[in-house]
Each structure stands twice: as C-alpha cells, then as structure tokens.
Structure 1
Amino acid sequence: MTPVSTSTSTSTSTSTTPGNSTTTTVAPAATAIPSAVEIPGGADLYADPPPAAGTTPGTLLRFQRLDPLPGAPGSLWRVMYTSGAAADVSEVVTGMVRVPAGAPPAAGWPTISWAHGTTGSADHCAPSRALDYLPVPDPMVADGFVVASTDYPGLGTPGLHPYLDGATEGSSVVDIVEAAAQLPGVLLSGDYAVWGHSQGGHAALFARELAASRSPQRRLVGTVAIAPPALLRDSLTAILTLQPKGFAALTLAGIASRHPDARLSDILVPEAISAIDQTIEKGCKLHVDQALMLFGASNVVVAPPNAVEPWRTLLDRSEPGMTAGTGPLLLVHSVDDRTVPEVMSAVVKGRTCGRGEPTLRWLNASGGHSGVVGDTYPATRQWVLDRFAGLPAPTSCGSPDSPSPR
C-alpha cells in the first residue's frame, strides 16, 4: 500500500474546456491533506476503513486503479474519501472516478459529479463494488471530462444508508470532486457540474444548495436533476398505502438510523419493522419491496409520517428546492413517470423560479421514469457543455415547459 500526499488551492486562468475557450477556475495543489493510500488491484478497498475523524470533507483516504472498461478510453479508479452533512461529523464514503486518456488541459480537466438513482441500502448495492451501474454521463469522458460518482454514505461503507437525506447525500456529491482532485497525476480545473437521476436528482438539488458553502474553492457551473423526488411528507404517506413500499421503507429506515428520536415504531407496525430489519442491509431495493409485499394499507401504518413528530420536521429538512442554490438548473421529467410523478419537479421549479434562479424544465410526453434519461441524453449533454462554455442559461420560468430538444 503506497501513501500519496496531496493538496489543493484555487486560481483563475483562461483555458480551453472541451470544445470551447472560456475562463476556467483552476484548482491545482496547495494545503496539506493526509496521505491517501493506494490499494493494490485485487485487494479489498472497502475492508476496515480508516477513521474519518479529524479530516476535512473531501479528503481522499484510499484509491485503487482498476482495469479500463472495454472500449472506454482513460483510467478508472475506486476511491474512499470523507464527507458528512454536519461540520462536526465526518464519515467514510466510497465511489468511482473516470479520467480521460492523455494530458489534461492547462487548467485541468473539467468534472461532472454523477448522483446515481436508487439501488438499495446494503453495502453490496454500491455501484462502485460491482461496476454494473455506470454513470449516465460516462460517455463524456471521451469529450474530455472527469466523471466522479459517489456511492453515498452507508453504501459500500459501515452504517445504514440515509436514503433521501438531502444534506448527507448532497454533501457526498460535492465532496467526491475534491477527493478526485487528489488522485495521483490527475489535475482538475475548479469547474464542475452535477448531474443526477431519481434519488440522484434529489441529491443533485441538495448538492446545488450546498456547493457555495461546501466547496467555495470550486465553481458549480450547472446542475441537472432528472425525475427528482419532492413533496416527501405527503408522498411517503401515500406510498405506504400502495405497492411497492420499498422507497418508503428505505427513507424511513435511513432517517431513523441518523436520528435516534425518530422511532419507526411511531410509524409502522412491529411486523413491518421486522421485515425491514431483516432485509435492508442484506438485499437491494427489489428485495425490500418483496419483503413488504404482504403488507397493505391497513396493516402496516401506526400513524402517517406527515402527522408525527419528529418525522414531519425531519422529512421537511430533506425537501428539495427550499434553499437558494448555485448556478443554472435543468429539471427533466416525463409525463408518464409512474415512479416519481412529474408534479414533483414542477414544485421544485416553482420554488427556484420564485427566487429568481435560472431554471429550465423539460417535460417529455413519454419515457417513463428510466427511459427519459436516455431519451434526453443528447440534449442534456449539450446543456452541460454550454454551461462549461459560459453561455447564457435558458430559462422556462414564467413559461410553459417544453419537451427536450431533439
């Protein structure tokens, strides 16, 4: 295992981002950061993680070079770094980083931080473990972008994953960019974008809210949130009366793991709690759905979460769009999304437009919850490229939403 000492600071220069010449924030090395340890290929990066206490968010703890993916130029890394929603709380998080082949631009590689959709809460559900859930922006590595992808806290590392805990997930999305900048031989510019789908759309919205305070040395040029959950209090209450119930179970269990005063027994019957406990750290999202399939509306809920404290308040803390964010925002949704109804991103648009934040919303007639990601990829890619180029951001505030450009 080889320790590598790294550090960061900020300056500004005129540089060429992929396809465009623009002013770019540069973040080469500067302040002391504890040495990161290289884990040999074939060894277990996840075993016995080091303590995160005393580190600053985004500190790279471990990294592992992986074999390049077939047909994918550049290098691929697993990383372990520190994050934490509160200033006095640090925890270990894992993820992946893809770096383009060749020499970086003079100012460093621009970066996209990808926030993945729901996989579950068990450690083996972490995308970086199996490498079978690649980031949607991954093709942009060939365009000259580093793509960093967090697993989120509790996925791949000890502790229960705090599903839809906005501050925790959003922090990990921002902090992995800082960690990626500490990989040996990897030079990042100070500019990055955030892009997420479903759970990741929710995380992306919180990353946007946290970026200025969390990572003032870097510039968030834009955020893409595809099918982000919102209206959490009421939607969770409704989901508990329907099938599948996995989304509600993941959310409630994740909150309870972080807030001891939030008791599942105030919300759910003992049999449902037992089913969750037996499944949530062993199986992925589908297994949680199956474990709760026998519970209907009348035999699962003790009291609705939108009517019980501290649940009501804690869910409100994870409601997206309530706080001003940094930079332009693109919301993407499909009218026929049956998993996350499109009204949720409409509510977010109303909140951000109400504060005068540059917001564009694309509303497609088809694609559902998952298909809309691929359907809108070419247009979303161009929107991201335009943000790095510094072009004016279009907005649909005060206007009807239109489908994504073809």
Structure 2
Amino acid sequence: MQYQYRSRCAAVLATAVLTAVGATLAPAAVAEPVSAFYVPPAELPTERGAIVKTQAMSVFAVPPGKDGVWPVAAQQVMYTSRTQDGQPVAVSGTYIEPTQPWQGSGPRPTVVIAPGTAGQGDQCAMSVAFSTGLAVSTDPLSVSANQESMSAAAWSGLGARVLVTDYIGLGTPGIHTYVNRIESAHAVLDAARAAHHLAGTGPETPLAFWGYSQGGGAVAAAAELQPQYAPELNLKGTWAGGPVADLAAVLAQIDGNLIGGAIGFALNGFTARYPDLRASLNERTTPEGRALLDRLSTACIGDVILEKPFTRTDALTVDGRPLLEHLQSVPGVDRVLSDQRIGTLRPTSPVLITSGRNDDTVPYSQARQLAVDWCDKGAAVTFRTNELPPIAPGTTFVNHFGPELIDGFGTNNAISYLVDRLNGTAIEGCTFD
C-alpha cells in the first residue's frame, strides 16, 4: 500500500506541476476582476460554516478527473465565519469534489488548504486566480497567482475533497486581516464545516489541514483552536509548514527583504481590528509611509515584488528607526502581539511542523519554538528541519519557497504524514528531526 501510494503521489505531483505551469503561462490565463459573486447578502445565516452561495467554476490548473475530463469542475463558494469579536462574516473559497476513489483507507476525507501570502486587495483572493492560474487587473495594474494549484491538484488526485479558503476580507468586503491568528483559524475551521455541507457529509468525516507560510500559521492556529471553536470536527492531522507563529519575529525578519512590504498587510489588518493603534501609527510614519500603507491595502504580493521590493520600514518613519521598534513602544501593541502568538493552546490532534533552517522569511527559531511550546503542553508534534543551504538570502524565492516544495511533496513528505493520519495510523509524543 505504501509503495502504491508513493507511486500514485509521484504521478499526481508530476501532473500537477505541468498543469500548474501550463495554466500560468497560457495566454488565456487572465481571470476577470472580482465579480458580484463576492458581495454577500444583507443577512447572513447565523450558523458558522453555513453555505451562503455557490457558483460553478472550471479549473484548468488541476489534472483531469477519473474520466479524463478537463478542465475540472469546481465551485466558488461563500460560507459564514466569525471575526475575532464574534461578528458574522462571509468568506469565499474554492471547493473541488474529486471524481476519483480515495487512495487511502477508510472514508473519503476533506482537506482544507490555507494559502500562503497572496496580498490584501480583493483581487488577490485565491479563488479569483484559481480557474486559470493567474489573475490580472489593470486599474491599477495588479497580478496574483494561484499558489495552491499544486497542493489542490495533489490532494484532489488522491481522491480527497478539497476546500481552499480565501480568508476573511479577501474577495469579500472589508480589510483582509492578514496573519490574524483568531480570524485565520476561524476561516479554516468554518471552511471544513462548509465543505461537509457541500459534500453532504457530517462532522465525523476525516479531516486534515494543509498550509505553508501564512497558511502554515493559519492551520496551526486552527489546530489549537479546534477543540474549543469546532470540537465536533474529526481533525486527524495538520501540516503547518514554515508557520507564522511569532508575528514580531516574522515582521523583523522580512523588514528589508524582497517582500518587506507585506509588513503593511499586517499593520493594515491590525489597525482595522484595533483602531486605537491608528493614531499612534500615523504619528510615527511619514506621509510617504502612510501612502504606501494605503496602496498595500489594495495590493497583491506580486505587486509588492514588482513595485516595492526590499522595502525597509526605517525609510517610512519620521526618525529613521524601524517601524517595529516604534510599535513596541506604543501602549497596547504588546497585547496585540500576545493575542497573535500561536502556541498558547494545546492541539488535540497530531501536527507536523516543518521549517527551513535558513528560511529568510519566516524564522526557523520561532517555528521550532512553536513545536516546543506544544510539546510541553502534551501535544503530539513532529518537527522536521529542512537543511537547504542559504541561497541568495533575503530574496525569499529559494530559502522560503524551496522548503515548501521539499517538505510538502519531497523528502519531508507532508502528504505521506497526513495520509498516515487519515488512514488511522496512531502517533504520540514529540519528535524533533
């Protein structure tokens, strides 16, 4: 079974890579701007994870189904969730019901995928780019890629149903609360509920979470909040790759690197939820700095790389000190950072955490500390180190995205880990490799 599974996985992965690249490069790979679908009704269902509406979608970036039909049929979906203050909110995403048998044992599982950093503008929502692989808008010029085509293709090819969340505020109205621990977790957990509604299955359905970078932090937060927010879910395991667990450490790391502008995504999201911080932030930033934050609120990560690569926050402050240094002196910021720290609660299902020792974007030390924190609380944690050597530090592409490919699909094979959990193979205690 293990040999057959690995052979099947290799075939699925190869096809996924080819279709993802083909979809991204195809001339037709330009999605329409955000449509009326993303506008929720005035009244939302009170149930968390309820389906608000769906819309058929053809996906070119996923391999053909059981009968060779391509493009693959999927659905844009809108479901209900909650903000950190408990307010009902609509969240969008992409749902794929596979046509192939589940390649593991037991009933067909659900896999919820939490995407890596896409941006903060509505056009950056993963579901906008999901069909063709690339979304391009012109007013202003903005580019966003479907980063999760490979993971969705791999899991769909193995026969799992897949729901890729867009998170709160991406596509749908309101600011995207980037790397907000609570709201990211809610979006993931309610995505699982929504998937079960769409599939006509119940909470006993085997469930796994998959995420890297921003997505790694989102699924890590979901795993530790699941016992209290969604105790009915049958969560079997989580892969939290390169997780954003200690926000302060991550913001300090990316300041000045290729995607340094992503700091603005975090600041915009947190001042929306903690509005009393806005005045203090405005006092410490220059007019150019405030203008950049406004621009970032409607930008995708591709726009950051094209327009403002290697942004340093000391160029945005009134006295030339890094912005994080300023914020740490603002009353209330310590509470915000404490609220966002992952690792204070114990997940009751197994978690695989992977991290690159030389990750130049999401620090290795804070990912390992997350594993230590959970292990100290009695969780079942496997921590695996990626030893990829430093290559062009600060450019993100190799030392951050390289471990994602290696750990997700290669030698640290997160798919194998989760399939074992979904197959019922027990795992206890902690392992650090």
TM-score bracket for this pair, using the shorter chain length: 0.7 to 0.9
Match of 2:288 in 1: 271
Match of 1:95 in 2: 93
Match of 1:368 in 2: 399
Aligned residues: 359
Q: Is the 8 A contact 1:237 1:305 kept in 2?
A: no
Match of 2:113 in 1: 114
State how 1:5-404 maps to structure 2 within 5 Å: 44=35, 46-51=37-42, 53-69=44-60, 71-73=63-65, 75-86=73-84, 88-101=86-99, 109-131=108-130, 132=133, 133=146, 134-138=148-152, 139-183=154-198, 190-237=205-252, 239-240=254-255, 244-263=259-278, 264-281=281-298, 283-288=299-304, 290-291=307-308, 297=314, 299-300=316-317, 301=322, 304-366=326-388, 368-376=399-407, 377-378=409-410, 379-393=413-427, 395-397=429-431, 401-402=432-433
SS at match of 1:316: helix
Please tell me the residue identity of whatever aligns with 2:297.
I
Distance 1:339 1:186, change over 3 A: same
How far apart are residue 243 of structure 1 and its match? Answer: 6.1
Distance 1:199 1:52, change over 3 A: farther
SS at match of 2:371: helix
Please tell me the residue identity of whatever aligns with 1:297.
D
SS at match of 2:171: coil
SS at match of 1:57: coil
Q: Is the 8 A contact 1:99 1:146 kept in 2?
A: yes
Q: Is the 8 A contact 1:65 1:76 kept in 2?
A: yes
Q: Is the 8 A contact 1:114 1:136 kept in 2?
A: no
Structure 1 gaps of 5+ residues are 1-17, 20-41
Please tell me the residue identity of whatever aligns with 2:384.
W
TM-score by length of 1: 0.80
Distance 1:218 1:296, change over 3 A: closer
Q: Is the 8 A contact 1:97 1:148 kept in 2?
A: yes
Distance 1:214 1:309, change over 3 A: same
Please tell me the residue identity of whatever aligns with 2:300.
C
Distance 1:312 1:251, change over 3 A: same
Distance in 2, Cα, partners of 1:298 & 1:76 = 44
Distance in 2, Cα, partners of 1:337 & 1:159 = 32
Match of 1:36 in 2: none
* Greater CA drift, 242-251 or 54-63: 242-251
Distance in 2, Cα, partners of 1:291 & 1:187 = 46
Q: Is the 8 A contact 1:349 1:361 kept in 2?
A: yes
**Share of identical aligned residues, percent?**
26
Distance 1:126 1:294, change over 3 A: closer
* Greater CA drift, 382-391 or 184-193: 184-193
Distance 1:177 1:280, change over 3 A: same
Distance in 1, Cα, partners of 2:288 & 2:344 = 35
Distance 1:298 1:279, change over 3 A: closer
Distance 1:267 1:359, change over 3 A: farther
Distance 1:309 1:233, change over 3 A: farther
How far apart are residue 52 of structure 1 and its match? Answer: 5.3
Please tell me the residue identity of whatever aligns with 2:40.
P
Per-residue CA distance 1:230-285 (angstroms, 9 max, x = gap): 3323443564466642121111111011221121325533320122113421x212
Q: Is the 8 A contact 1:190 1:217 kept in 2?
A: no
Per-residue CA distance 1:350-369 (angstroms, 9 max, x = gap): 11111121111111111621
Please tell me the residue identity of whatever aligns with 1:66.
M
Distance in 1, Cα, partners of 2:259 & 2:74 = 35
* Greater CA drift, 253-262 or 44-53: 44-53
SS at match of 1:382: helix
SS at match of 2:205: strand
Distance in 2, Cα, partners of 1:372 & 1:116 = 15
Distance in 2, Cα, partners of 1:387 & 1:295 = 42
How far apart are residue 349 of structure 1 and its match? Answer: 1.1
Distance 1:228 1:266, change over 3 A: farther
How far apart are residue 224 of structure 1 and its match? Answer: 0.7
SS at match of 1:216: coil
Distance in 2, Cα, partners of 1:185 & 1:320 = 32
Please tell me the residue identity of whatever aligns with 2:98.
P
Report the structure, 1 or 2, having the larger helix content: 2
Distance in 1, Cα, partners of 2:162 & 2:374 = 26
* Greater CA drift, 223-232 or 161-170: 223-232
Q: Is the 8 A contact 1:84 1:90 kept in 2?
A: yes
Q: Is the 8 A contact 1:272 1:292 kept in 2?
A: no
